[in-house]
Amino acid sequence: MANFISKQRIAALGSALFFLAYINTAHADLMRVTDWSYETTATFEGAIFEGSGENTIATSSELSWGNAAGNFQSPVADFWKNRSALTIGTGSVGDSRLGGGVIGSIADDSTSTISTIFNDTPLGDITYPEFVALGSSFTHWNNPISSGDDHLLKATVKDELTLRNANDNSSTEKAAPTLFFNFEFRETSNSGGSNGLCEDGTAPNIGGIHNNGCGDIFGFRNLSTTGIAFEYEGLNYLVDVLIVGTPSPDDGDHISAFSASPIGYLSDGECSALGWNDGTSGQRCQGFVTPEKEHTTVQFGFAVRSLTSSIPEPAPLMLMALCVLALAVKRRSNI
C-alpha cells in the first residue's frame, strides 16, 4: 500500500511540474507586447567632402554641394549652375522630403501604433500600416554638376527609435538600439570608367538605373539592419529596418516582398568603387544606386518581431519532470 501511494505522489509531482510549465509559458505569452506606440528620427553627422568643402552645406537634415547659387530642388540645363543634395525627411513627396523631424508620438499612440509580428503570423497577413511603420525618408537630389565642384565623400546617418507598450499607459518607454549608418558616397562618371562601363559592369545610357549616365552610389557595411535584438520588460524582441515602397494595386494594403524588404546588397564592382574589395562576393556591402538627373527617395520603415520567451517552454520542463520521476523511482527501488 505504501509503495502504491508513493507512486501516486510521484505521478502527481510530474503532473504538477508539467502544469506549472504550461502556466508559466501561457503567462509569458500574455505578457508579450502586441501593440507598440513609437517615435523615430534620423539625422546626419560627420559629413566629409572632397577637397576644401567649398560651397558645401552640412546640417542634421541636409548635405548639399555644387554651385553656391544653385537650387537642388530646381536644376537647370547648365550643369555647372546646379547643386546636388541628400536630405532627410518624414515622407516621400513634396516638402516632407526636407527638414528631418520626429515621426510618430509616444504620447499620442492613436496615430503611431504598430502590432508585433509573431512567429505564427502568416506572411500574407503582414500589412501596412498594421505591422510595418514608416520611418524617415532619404532623398538624393541627383543633379548634373561640374566635375570641379567639391562633393560628398562620406557621412553618418544616426537612426533612433523609441517604443512603448500601446496597451498599457503605465508602461515604460524603451529606446531600441541606436543605429549608425556610416556610409560612403561616390559621384560616378556619367560616361563610365576607362572601359566605358558603369561600376556594376553595365553600359550607361541604354535604360534602367543608368539611363542618363552611370548612377551614383551609396553604401555601408558591417551593420546588421534586421534581427536587431532588444529587451522590453523582461522579454526579447527584434527590430527590422526595411525599405518600404507603395503597395501595388494587386496587393491592396498588403506589404509584399517587392514593397517592404531589407536593404539590398550592391555588386562587387560598386562596393569596390566605395573602397571595399574584401568579403563574400555579392555581399561585400549594402546600399543604393540612384539614377542621374532624378530625385530618388528611399522610404525607410521598421517592424517589431517577437522572440521566444526566456521562460522555459513545456518541452524542457516536461523533460525535467521526467528526470525527477526517474530519480524518485530509482530512490524508491533502492529502499
Q: What is the pLDDT of residue 6?
A: 56
What tens-digit pLDDT sequence spans the chain (335 residues)? 445 455 555 555 554 444 444 434 444 455 799 999 999 999 999 999 998 888 999 999 999 999 999 999 999 999 999 999 999 999 988 999 999 999 999 887 777 899 999 986 766 667 777 889 999 999 999 999 998 899 999 999 999 999 999 998 888 899 999 999 999 999 999 899 999 999 999 999 988 899 999 999 999 999 889 999 999 999 999 999 998 875 444 444 444 444 678 899 999 999 999 999 999 999 999 999 999 999 999 999 999 999 754 344 444 444 454 444 444 544 445 55
Q: What is the pLDDT of residue 315?
A: 45
Grid-cell match 536587431, residue found: 228
Q: What is the pLDDT of residue 318?
A: 47
Q: What is the pLDDT of residue 19?
A: 42
Q: What is the pLDDT of residue 294?
A: 93
Q: What is the pLDDT of residue 334?
A: 52
Q: Which of 299, 273, 291 is nearest to 143 (CA)?
A: 291
- Please report, as a single letter, which amino acid is at residue 22: Y
Sign of CA dihedral 185, 186, 187, 191: negative
Q: What is the pLDDT of residue 163?
A: 95
Please report, to the nearest 10 degrees, the dihedral formed by the alpha carbons of residues 237, 241, 247, 250 taken in order: -60
Q: What is the pLDDT of residue 123?
A: 63
Taking the C-alpha atoms of residue 271 and residue 194, their distance in angstroms, rounded to an integer, is 17
Taking the C-alpha atoms of residue 20 and residue 24, their distance in angstroms, rounded to an integer, is 6
Q: Are 298 and 304 within 8 A, CB to CB?
A: no
Q: So where are the chain's domains?
A: 15-32+311-335, 34-308
pTM: 0.80
